[in-house]
Amino acid sequence: MSRRVAHVIVESPVPRLDRLLDYLIPDELSDEVVVGGRVRVPLGKGGSRRIDAYVVDISDTPTPGVSLSEIESANGSVPVLTPALWVLARTVADRNGGGVADVLRVAIPKRGVRIEKGRSIAAHVMPTPRPSIRSVMSLDAGVSETTQGPTLRSLSQIADLVRVAEAGVIVVVPDWRDLALLSRALEDVPHVTVDSSGTPSERYGRYLDILSGEARVVIGTRAAVYAPVVDLELLVVVDESDPLLEEPHTPYVHARDAAVVRNSIEGGRLVFASITPSVESARFVELGFVEPTTTIPVRPTVMLANDVTDDGFASRARIPTSGWRVLRAALERGPVLVQVSRPGFTPQVVCADCRTPHRCGTCRSLLSGNRDGTVLCRVCGLAPIGVKCSHCSGRETAWSGVGSVRTAEELGRAFPGVPVVVADGEHRALEVPRRPSLVIATRGAEPIVAGGYEAVLIVDGDKELQRPGLRTSENCLRWWGHAAGLAADDASVVLANVDGAFASLFATNQWESIVETELRERRALGFPPSSRAIAVRGTIADLQAVRELDEVTGHRVMGPAKDGDSFRIVILVDYRSAPTVISAIRVHTVSKNATGIRVHCDDLTIFDDVDND
């Protein structure tokens, strides 16, 4: 009698183990080992190690002449890895030159034994693909009301899409703030949340609810794109240009790309929805890959505050006189939002002589200044007693820039008696009360207020727009557009000290023209998204070996350049050639056991000349 064979993928980041391994199923485990289930298997010479794995498939015929080890134990009989999830994880891992185990680590929560008790979940089969529909949706700015509190009008529009769907739905948002506001918009729709909140057991319980089909609607952050929703009809990615939607660990899969792959596997309706357009969505529309938006979105009225004056100090003021007038008048009616670019008191400490930024001696992050005059690293917490300039060896320091805390102090003195609220990474706030107040927030941390802000003032925009970087224009459009979207319908949005073509297009709500121009400029340079950028990091010897691969030869290679403790090259390839190049680098890494090589596809930070620590 032949014994059954399980084809498993082990939970290991080692590249040479990124393949299916075969193990015999012992007779005593024949009822417990199921496709999609977790098992524990021996690994290494003589089976000296034990490692967890997922069963991808089971066959009845062992390979002739091959001696196989046996599965040691079954870790429950719940088929947590569905066939569709396996194909999705394998595809996005290969697309990004990484291992499938790293994708599954994000997609499937850690097992909770107690949560499995009493639950019987049938194994999934590969779904029959639905007809595929892909579109871009431009969302309205503004604030709407729910019984649980205010939410974004844009998220209420997403909720309307969810309500008309008859089968499974997934909505992916960038962060906890969007998730909380979306949950308000879906107050009448039962839904499950997929994010990092709750205990490991609670996260696993929510996963099993989805797997069993008990949860039809799933909302969450980037990992939600992998949720095993039964009969997926609608997949929405909100603000798909937000960097928070990219997984920060290898293989660095962006939720937008995973959504496109999943749509190609399961079909259904895929929607990229945002208040502000993105370069990627503009490219999709241009290629005919997605349908363009069919509605004219509601956008705020924007005023440019570029005061012309003979007073030298006034002409360089952070808040121009016209901005002050709008701010004062709005404070008589309700709250005002002031968006700043940096958190803290003084965002940067520089050399007083040559203006070179000082860095932390431990983690190399940029140092910041406190209100008491001390210097601090906000990444690792180091407070150096003295600093020495790496460029000119000077020991005198100076402040550069104004952070959220310092801005709050300055405006508090200018408007005595008016409450001042700070919202940034250290001061998180989802909502503020509707009363006259000043809300000083960094980009992306702006609280919502019932009815919307009476005015929104964007400062430091001139410095942000002048920063060198590939995504400067797109980032500014997203930051400022989302801040403007929090204003009341009849409120004023003031953009201070920004002029030129970008300012004119932003103020006249021609936001699509901004990203279309950006796309043309990137295409002329051969930069993403008109091409794929494959960043390879390692030693000089490793990078030279990669450059000499036949599949890489003939493509544009930039570098090597210093990258932290190692070096980096960037290979720019067209989309048709990218799979071949990425696969060749992966094969080289495995065959040469070049464990020092790291691959990061579509890493746009490599085109930014400014350190964003």
* CB-based burial, 474-501: b 16+ in 10 Å, e otherwise: bbbbbbbbbbbbbbbeebbbbbbbbeee
Structure tokens at 277: 């357009």
CA–CA gap between residue 54 and residue 367 (Å, rounded):
45
- Give the pLDDT confidence score for residue 400 in this predicted structure: 64
Taking all residues of the chain, what is their mean pLDDT, rounded to a whole number?
Answer: 90
More reliable by pLDDT, 361 or 512: 512
Q: Distance (Å, rounded) from C-alpha 554 to C-alpha 443?
A: 41
Choose between 379 and 422: higher pLDDT: 422
Domain annotation for the chain: domains and CATH numbers? 1-77 (3.40.1440), 132-287 (3.40.50.300), 302-347+401-508 (3.40.50.300), 531-607 (3.30.70.260)
What pLDDT digit, counting tens, does each position of 210-226 carry?
A: 999 999 999 999 999 99
pLDDT of residue 312: 40
Question: What single letter denotes the amino acid at residue 452?
Answer: G
pLDDT band for 466, please (50, 70, 90 cuts).
Answer: confident
Q: What is the mean pLDDT of residues 529-552?
A: 96
Question: Is the per-residue pLDDT at 613 higher than 60?
Answer: no
Q: Rounded to whole angstroms, how far apart are CA atoms 461 and 479? A: 10
- Over residues 243-260, the pLDDT tens digits come to 999 999 999 999 999 999
Structural contact between residues 89 and 251, judged by C-beta atoms closer than 8 angstroms: no
Least confident stretch, 34-48, 95-109, 376-390: 376-390
Residues 86-97: what's their mean pLDDT?
98
pLDDT for residue 107: 98
Strand segments, DSSP code E, in 73-175 are 73-74, 132-138, 143-146, 149-152, 168-172
pLDDT band of residue 425 (cuts 50, 70, 90) is confident
At a CB cut-off of 8 Å and minimum separation 6, what does 35 contact? 55, 56, 57, 58, 79, 83, 123
Tens-digit pLDDT profile for residues 314-361: 334 578 888 899 999 999 999 999 999 877 666 677 787 777 777 887
For residue range 485-506, what is the model confidence (pLDDT) as tens digits? 999 999 989 999 899 999 999 9
* pLDDT higher than 80, residue 611: no
Which token pair is 388? 């020495």
